[in-house]
Amino acid sequence: MAKVVLVTGASAGIGKATSLEFLSAGHIVYGAARGVHKMDDIRDAGGHVLAMDARRPEDLERVTSTIIDEQGRIDVLVNNAGTVLHGAAEDIPLDLARDQFEVNVFAPARLTQLVLPSMRERKSGTIVNVSSIGGEIALPLGCWYYATKHALEAYSDSLRMEVEPFGIDVVIIQPGIIKTGFEDHTAQQLREISGTTAYGEMAEALAQRAEEQLGENSQGSAPGIVATTIREAVEADKPETRYAVGWMADKLLELNATLPDREFDKLVTGAAK
């Protein structure tokens, strides 16, 4: 049976790939993002597109009510929209940190509140929260991004236990390094925020590493591998609670789990020298 799927951040990268993946499997898909003009391929594939700014609560309410009015339900919510922020903790203005939490944590939480009543009534549904390997690990000069992903995972774990009695699944997706435009501005952010501060040497080293890893020669995985994982999780009778997927995902998570903290610190900060 076709599911009604809402994918946020659908204008590019993982969100777009996920929307097209669900469409190709015969599901009813609504892609939501600020850049409606970037979602023509979703519309051309038979999907629906909706304008949505994750920072605007009225947008979140309009999107969910529109889908429920048109389809009578939302079976799957894929919370994929997000932003990333790089710089030293000492240097980053707190208004930028608050914005990071607004998009990466509070928007998914509000959308979850909006879809849960109808899911509970039908005793079925799946909420997919796209986290990151950064939901379990942390690297230097990314404290606020990693903080949001850690928060999203803790939120998801608690939510999973709360809604399981109502037949609702909560799934966490942990992408590794993926070839998308998501981190195109990483090097620029590092240099602008911390390039001339006490953390300048570290910022420049990480900026150069980002240009190597995220540029044209990136070894990162294609976003389609994440999209396929999300669809398979949603279609599974009993999905796993977490899926690590993409280049370096399993390896970095394993190292973080097995190495003592200071040994892991040395490993990752060595790349910043």
For residue 149, which of 157, 37, 245 has the smallest C-alpha distance?
Answer: 157
Q: Cβ-count burial of 189 within 10 angstroms (0-12 exposed, 13-18 middle, 19+ buried)?
A: buried
> What does each C-alpha distance from 223 to 3, 138, 167, 228, 236 come to in angstroms?
22, 22, 29, 9, 20
| Exposure class string for 242-270: b at 16+ Cβ within 10 A, else e | bbbbbbbbeebbeebeeeeeeebeeebee
- Catalytic site residue 11? yes
Can 145 be counted among the known catalytic residues?
A: yes
Task: Exactly one of 3, 19, 30, 145 is catalytic; name it.
Answer: 145
Q: Which of 19, 149, 155, 179 is catalytic?
A: 149
Tokens 């997706």 correspond to: 173
55-66 CB burial, b ≥16 within 10 A, e <16: eeeebbeebbeb
> Which residue among 3, 11, 155, 156 is the active-site one?
11
Catalytic (active site) residue 131: yes
CA pair distance 260, 35, nearest whole angstrom: 43
Beta bridge partners of 170: 127
Considering 19, 131, 156, 194, which one is annotated as catalytic?
A: 131
Dist. CA 169–CA 77, nearest whole Å? 11
Clarify whether 221 is annotated catalytic: no
* Active site residue ranges: 11, 131, 145, 149
